[in-house]
Amino acid sequence: MRTPTSVGVFRIHSGLDYHANAMDMSRTDSIHMDPEEFRKHGHAMIDFIAEYLGREPKRPVRSEVEPGFVRSRLPEHPPEAGEPFESVMKDVREIIMPGITHWQSPDFFAYFPANNSEPSILGELLSAGLGVQGMLWSTSPACTELETHVLDWLVRMKGLPERYLSSGSGGGVIQDTASSATLCALIAARERTDSFESGSSGVNQADSSMITYCSSQAHSSVEKAVRIAGLGTDNLRIIDVDGDYAMDVEHLKRVIKDDIDAGRRPCMVVAVSGTTSSNAFDPIDRIATLCREHGIWLHVDAAMSGTAMLCPEHRHLFDGVEHADSYCFNPHKWMFTNFDCNCFWVADRSDLVKSLSILPEYLRNSATESGRVIDYRDWQIPLGRRFRALKLWFVIRHYGVNGLQELVRGHIDLTAEFARWIEEDDRFQLAAPAPLNLVCFRHVEGDEFNERLLEKLNHEGEMYLSHTRLDDRYTLRMSIGQSRVERSNVERAWSNIRRVASDPGDT
Ligand code: PLP
C-alpha cells in the first residue's frame, strides 16, 4: 500500500518529458500517481473512451436503472487509504456505466445534441493537464489570447457582424452555458438602461420598473436570469407566438407601448433563434427595429441552432442578428465540442465590463493597468475560468470550416428526410416546421397514445426520443445531431417508431 510521505518533485528536461528529480529518487511510491503510472492509466483511459465512442451499439440508450442504483453500490464512507486506479475503473465499468444515458450514441435523438468529438476530448484533456486559471490575462496569457482569437474566427465563420470582433467595440467570450450568457446580457442591459435614464455611474441598480421581454417559447433560463438579476418575475413579459411558434412582433409592440405609457423602462428583449421545444425562429429583424426605436437591448439566444450559421444557406433564419446587442450559441450542443462551451458576443463591451468588473488589490497587475489586455473575469459571473478555448480550437482545426459544414449539412438533410417520411405516413403528422435538425411530430391517436409510444420506444432501449407540449398537445421530438449519426440510424429509428405505433402496449 502506498503511504503518504514526501511529495515527489519533478522538473522538465525537454518538451513534455518529465523525470523524477534526482534529489527525490529515494522513493518511487509518491503519494501522487507517478508519471509512468499516469501514462499507463492515461493510455488505458483513452482506449476506454475510444472503445466507448466506437461502432459497437450502446444499449439501452437511455439508462434504465432505478433511482438509488448507483448510490446503493457505493461505500458509505470514502476510503481512508488510497486505492489502486484499477479498482476505481472496475467500479466505473460495473457501477457507473449502467447509470449512463448514452448521449454520444448515434441512436440518441432526445432533447438536443450534446455532441462531442475526439479533438474536443483531447483539448479538454490538455486543459485539465495544464490546469491554468484564466481569470486575468496575466494569469495565463495564452488562455485569454486563444479565446479572443477563436471567437474572432467564429465571427467570420458564422458571418456575424464585424462589431462583434475584439478589434472593434465588442468581442466574444466563452461562458459555461447559454443560461450564463443570458444572465450576463441582462446585467449589461440593466446597466445600460440605468445609465440611459439617470446618467448614473452607479452600477447594478436593480429597479423594479425594468422590463424584460421574451416569447412563451423562450428557454426558462430567461426567467431565471430575471430572478437572479433582481428585476422581479412580475417584470418579465411573456409575448405570444404565431402559428409557427415564433414571437408575435405586433404583440411585443403593444406590450412595450403599454409599459412605456405606464412609466416603466423596457430593458431587454430576448429573441430566440431555434426555440427549445420546436426550433422556431423569432423574427430578429423586426424585433431589432422595435428595440432600436426604444433603446432596448436585444439579446439573441441561438443555443443549439446557432451552429447552422456555419452554412451560408441557413443564415437567412438569423436575418437581423447584425443589429443585436448580444448573441450566443453553444458549440457544446451541435458543434462537436464537449460541454461546457457557450460562445457569447457583445457589440459593445463597455456595459458588460462596467457591470461585472471589480478589482481587488490581490488581482492588481501591470498588464491590467496598461489597458492593453482583456481580463475575462470582467465578462462573466465567476472569477475563475478554465481553458475552454483549447477544445474549440482543436475542433475547428481538426475539421476545418468545410468539415464542420459537411457534418451540419448531413444532419439537416437527414432531418428533412425524416420529416418527409412523417408527412407521407397517414398515421403521423408534423407538429411544427422543421427548418434544421429537429422534427416535432405526433401520432394522430392523441396524447395518451403518443405517451405510450414514447415510453415503449425508450424502454426497448434501441433509441431515445423525448417530448414536449405544443398547443397543449403531447408532441414527440426527434433531434438529429449526434457526431456519428448516419442514415441507417435514422432509418432504424423510423422503422422502430412505426413498429411500436402498431402496438404501443399499456401504460
Ligand atoms: N436556450 C435555448 C434556446 C436552449 O434550447 C437551451 C437548452 O436547451 C438553453 C438556452 C440552455 O442552455 P444551457 O444549458 O447552455 O444553459
Instruction: Name the residue at shortest CA distance from atom 5 of ligand 1.
Output: 276
**pLDDT above 70 covers what percent of the chain?**
91
Choose which residue among 111, 304, 477 to substitute to test ligand 1 binding: the one with the highest number of ligand atoms within 8 A of its C-beta.
Answer: 304
- The pLDDT score that the predictor gives to residue 23 is 40
272 lines ligand 1 (CB under 6 A): yes
Give Cα 335 to chain centroid, integer Å: 10
Give Cα 402 to chain centroid, integer Å: 22
Q: For ligand 1, what atom is nearest to the CA of residue 177?
A: 15
List residues bridging with 213 in a β-sheet. Answer: 237, 269
Distance CA(450)–CA(462), nearest Å, equals: 18
> Cα angle vertex 232, ends 278, 220, to 5°?
20
Which backbone phi and psi does 375 adopt, to 5 degrees?
-115, 105
**pLDDT above 90 covers what percent of the chain?**
88
Tell me the average pLDDT of the chain.
Answer: 92
β-pair type (342-346, 10-14): unpaired
> Cα angle vertex 364, ends 358, 370, to 5°?
100
Ranges of each domain in the chain: 125-395, 399-501
Give the SS3 label for residue 47.
helix
pLDDT of 315 strictly over 50: yes
Which backbone phi and psi does 12 adopt, to 5 degrees?
-85, 125
Architecture in CATH of 125-395: 3-Layer(aba) Sandwich (3.40)
Choose which residue among 272, 276, 326, 436 to substitute to test ligand 1 binding: the one with the highest number of ligand atoms within 8 A of its C-beta.
Answer: 276
| Residue 142 vs residue 200, higher pLDDT | 142
Q: For ligand 1, what atom is nearest to the CA of residue 302?
A: 3
Distance CA(459)–CA(454), nearest Å, equals: 8
* Residue whose C-alpha is closest to residue 189's, from 295, 69, 36, 42: 295
> Of 6-10, 28-32, 135-139, 338-342, which gets the smallest average pLDDT?
6-10
How many other CB atoms are found less than 10 A from the CB of residue 156? Answer: 12
The residues near 74 (Cβ < 8 Å, ≥ 6 apart) are: 91, 95
CATH of 399-501, one of 1.20.1290.10, 3.30.420.40, 3.40.50.300, 3.90.1150.10: 3.90.1150.10
Give Cα 500 to chain centroid, integer Å: 32
What confidence tens digit (pLDDT) does each residue in 87-129 have? 999 999 999 999 999 999 999 999 999 999 999 999 999 999 9
Q: Are 301 and 261 in contact (CB under 8 A)?
A: no
pLDDT of 2 strictly over 70: no
Instruction: Name the residue at shortest CA distance from atom 8 of ligand 1.
Output: 276
Choose which residue among 179, 339, 341 to substitute to test ligand 1 binding: the one with the highest number of ligand atoms within 8 A of its C-beta.
Answer: 179
184 lines ligand 1 (CB under 6 A): no
Going by pLDDT thresholds of 50, 70 and 90, the confidence category of residue 194 is: confident
Q: Could you identify the residue written with the cell 443560461?
A: 179
Q: For ligand 1, what atom is nearest to the CA of residue 304?
A: 5
Which backbone phi and psi does 243 adopt, to 5 degrees?
-65, -20
Q: For ligand 1, what atom is nearest to the CA of residue 305?
A: 3
Q: Which amino acid is at 387?
A: F
pTM above 0.85, yes or no: yes
Q: For ligand 1, what atom is nearest to the CA of residue 330?
A: 15
Choose which residue among 219, 228, 344 to substitute to test ligand 1 binding: the one with the highest number of ligand atoms within 8 A of its C-beta.
Answer: 219
- The pLDDT score that the predictor gives to residue 204 is 53
DSSP label at residue 431: S
- The pLDDT score that the predictor gives to residue 14 is 35
For the segment 123-138, the average pLDDT, to the nearest whole number, is 97
DSSP label at residue 328: E
What confidence tens digit (pLDDT) does each residue in 24-82 have? 444 456 799 999 999 999 999 999 999 999 988 889 999 999 999 999 999 999 999 99
Burial-class residue 472 by CB neighbours within 10 Å (0-12, 13-18, 19+): exposed
For the segment 410-416, the average pLDDT, to the nearest whole number, is 98
